[in-house]
Amino acid sequence: MSGSTVYDVAIVGYGPAGVVAAGLLGQKGLKVYVCERLLDVYQIPRAAALDHEIMRVFQQLGVVDAVAPFTEPFTNSEFFGVDGQLIRRMTMVAPPYPQGYTPSLVFTQPQVERILRERVARLPNVDVELGVEMTRVTPDAGGVTLDIVHPQRGAGQVRAKYVIACDGGSSTVRTQLGMQLEDLDFDEPWLVVDVLVNERGLAKLPKVSVQYCEPERPCTLVICPKNHRRFEISLKEGEDPKQVATPEATWKLLSRWLTPEDGELWRQASYRFHALVASDWRQGRVFLAGDAAHMQPPFLGQGMCQGIRDVTNLAWKLAAVLRGEVTGAAAQALLDSYGAERKAHVRELTRSGQGARARREVAGRLRRRRQGHAAPGHPAAAGDRPALRRSERRARQSVPAAVAAARRHAAAHGRRRRPRLAAGAGARHRRSGRDLAGAARAATRRTAGGSRRRGRSVVAPARMRRRAGASGPLRVWRGVHARRDAFPHR
């Protein structure tokens, strides 16, 4: 691909972010180059969930019908506390769907990536080189030069007006350009296990996705398409991430649900779930996108979705500038808005994902304390006030902090009645058209739930107990009525 061609955009990395970038830019008629180290899509799914916004991007690319057989609606989720009681049930939104697609879906990543690549292959203005490595990125005032090493042809160069680094978490582009990452204060080892479960195993497993909010080992079960089930299991201090990923050790960890007769391990791998975001998303003519720009724990199933949102945000801006529709200072401001918009959204979403998890842990710890349980490694006794971890404290602080930021913003812009909340913060409130006071009230209520109400049960009135047919005291968990013996799979 070297020679006299100057591409409009060169994309390093052909994972989900790279392939969507190539498709969107290619559809706009731009001359695009893509290089990818691997020869084929990564065969094992990492992402398991996506959302309706991503389906709309797939619609834009014309692949929704092709992708549909490899997706299924996300099931309801149940959250169980330390003693197996249901503490929360999350149900899926009923139709009509606000964006036209099921809001939350599970999917099979390798097949979906293959469909996206087939789409790009039909665009004659996009050149894709697989099995080659980008070894050096050299930006200058007029463009960017990439050094590309081909296993047979050897070294060559590619020249482009702009480069998008979609080269994953250990991005060579980001490293070579010295672009820094900010730590979002989450760093934990987890084991992720994908099991192809047979009939016997399926009969044993819950029919909905489950969060086991057990402070000593929080874990998650996700119902993926067909007979694919994903377990995410937190590792305890001192556990060797390599050792727990051996088949024997993995089956041992799965033994509360399944035995080797119930299915086959598709993959098991230990991950360090780390929350990071790039300080700057643009350096001149080079942009970071996808995991190259941010990483987050998969609790909200949003890492890949965020990368697809990144390139969707960037593609139309680059096209407008490259076609000369926006010029001069306005063009620079438009390109700068990419990082400003995406970074704020990624930070907020990552924080809310951490918050959800931390609040689950807090709930479990408070409840265990009240009931006088002492779990290994968590020697809480009735009457003790459990010390919160740093991430838990932050989770409880994040909502008031967002509201305080919105207030500051409102004061600075002299709009007291219906100020715009900072991007990402309080987006729900913005959408629903509530004013700041409403957002603040809702946030305060949520915070109170996180610190006091959540995790507290009350004995229901006799009228409610009679209606539920409960013999003993019926407990009310944030509106969910649960009898302790009602959940046999826990």
Q: State the residues that interact with ligand FAD by CB under 6 A.
A: 12-18, 35-38, 46-50, 133-134, 166-168, 172, 192, 271, 290-291, 298, 301-305, 307
Based on CB atoms, which residue is closest to ligand FAD, 12 or 358? 12
CB of 217 to ligand FAD, least distance (A): 17
Based on CB atoms, which residue is closest to ligand FAD, 136 or 370? 136
CB of 451 to ligand FAD, least distance (A): 29
CB of 328 to ligand FAD, least distance (A): 31
CB of 131 to ligand FAD, least distance (A): 9
CB of 14 to ligand FAD, least distance (A): 6
Based on CB atoms, which residue is closest to ligand FAD, 16 or 424? 16
CB of 292 to ligand FAD, least distance (A): 6
Based on CB atoms, which residue is closest to ligand FAD, 57 or 192? 192
CB of 307 to ligand FAD, least distance (A): 4
Based on CB atoms, which residue is closest to ligand FAD, 14 or 477? 14
Based on CB atoms, which residue is closest to ligand FAD, 292 or 335? 292
Based on CB atoms, which residue is closest to ligand FAD, 14 or 162? 14
Based on CB atoms, which residue is closest to ligand FAD, 269 or 405? 269
CB of 45 to ligand FAD, least distance (A): 8
Q: How far apart are CA 406 and CA 359, in angstroms?
A: 23
Based on CB atoms, which residue is closest to ligand FAD, 26 or 298? 298
CB of 306 to ligand FAD, least distance (A): 7
